[in-house]
Amino acid sequence: MSLIHPSILNSDTADLAGELTRISSADAAHVDVMDNHFVPNLTWGLPVVESLIRRNIMPIDAHLMIADPDRWAPAYAEAGCDSVTFHVEAARAPVVLAHNLHKAGARVGVGVRPGTPLSAIEELLPYMDMALIMTVEPGFGGQAFIESMLPKIRRLRALLNEQNLDIQIQVDGGVSRHTIAQAAEAGANVFVAGSAVFGAEDAAEEIAALRKIADPFCHC
């Protein structure tokens, strides 16, 4: 089954617990942590994530767009995030960091910006549970899906097949009813959709619709 992780970035952030309840039929809530250093935007940090975990509504998929994840990411795993994704452009010792995140009980993802080549994460893949291909420049929701990322997703899927690695490929940015099929066909199996889900009248219906489009292509 394709996994749908709605991003709460463009939700009603004054009522995050209520917004999680709206999307609880999804597989996880994608929580974008931005520090105004790694990206030119600021969201929330560990205390907010801890509060959401305490509500026990659904698994939390933390996407850390922060400088120095080696220092800050393990606390998100210790807090109980289901998965913690850091960016390869920001990490100093990604294999050690992955080990620390696993030790704290989280699944681990490594993300790449649109301009970062796959070669930057190739050697890290055996240590990961998930690779995140950004299909927008990280920092903001509501941007257009960058179609030129499709070959990158396809190459990553081929690489995983060649190396017999069973890890998830997450795509993040501009995922909607109009773009999810291409991403799924290229090889992604975890889909982050922010404005598509929270902009819909019925979030649960949108989640079901996205799943239905992606499922026939599923690399599950």
Ligand X SMILES: O=C(CO)[C@@H](O)[C@H](O)COP(=O)(O)O
Please identify every residue annotated as catalytic. 32, 172
194 is in an annotated binding site: yes
Please work out the total of residues on this chain that contact ligand X, with binding judged by CB under 6 A. Answer: 23
For ligand X, the binding residue among 35, 129, 172, 206 (CB under 6 A) is 172
Q: Does 172 bind Co ion (CB under 5 A)?
A: yes
Q: How many CB atoms lie within 10 A of CB 31?
A: 24
Q: For ligand X, give the closer residue by CB, 31 or 53.
A: 31
Q: What is the dihedral of CA 40, 29, 149, 175, to 10 degrees?
A: -100
Instruction: Give the number of residues in contact with Co ion, rule: CB under 5 A.
Output: 3
Region of 187 (left: φ > 0; alpha: ψ -120 to 50; beta: rest) is left
Minimum distance of ligand X from residue 103's CB (angstroms): 26
**32 near ligand X (CB under 6 A):** yes
Does 142 sit near ligand X (CB under 6 A)?
yes
Nearer to ligand X, 120 or 146 (CB): 146
Of 27, 32, 35, 206, which one interacts with Co ion (CB under 5 A)? 32
Tell me the residue nearest to ligand X as measured from the CB: 194
Reported as type and span, the H/E element at residue 87 is strand 83-87
Q: Mapping DSSP to helix (H, G, I), strand (E, B) and coil, where does residue 184 land?
A: helix
Q: 6 is in the binding site of which of Co ion, ligand X, none (Cβ under 5 to 8 A by kind)?
A: none
Question: Is residue 69 a contact residue for ligand X (CB under 6 A)?
Answer: no
Our finding on whether 61 is near ligand X (CB under 6 A) is: no
Which residues have a Cβ under 8 Å from the Cβ of 129 and sit 6 or more positions away? Answer: 83, 107, 108, 109, 167, 168
* Residue from 7, 11, 100, 168 in contact with ligand X (CB under 6 A): 7
Q: Which of 22, 63, 157, 211 binds ligand X (CB under 6 A)?
A: 63
Query: In this structure, are residues 106 and 76 in contact, taking their beta carbons and an 8 Å threshold?
Result: yes
- Indicate the pairing of strand 3-6 with strand 107-112: unpaired
Q: Does 109 bind ligand X (CB under 6 A)?
A: no
DSSP 109: E
- Residue 107 and residue 131 in contact, taking contact as beta carbons nearer than 8 Å: no
Is 187 annotated among the ligand-binding residues?
no
Q: Is 103 exposed, middle or buried (0-12, 13-18, 19+ CB in 10 A)?
A: exposed
Annotation: binding site for a divalent metal cation:
30, 32, 63, 172
Instruction: Write out the residues near Co ion by the rule CB under 5 A.
Output: 32, 63, 172
Binding-site sequence positions for substrate: 7, 63, 139-142, 172-174, 194-195
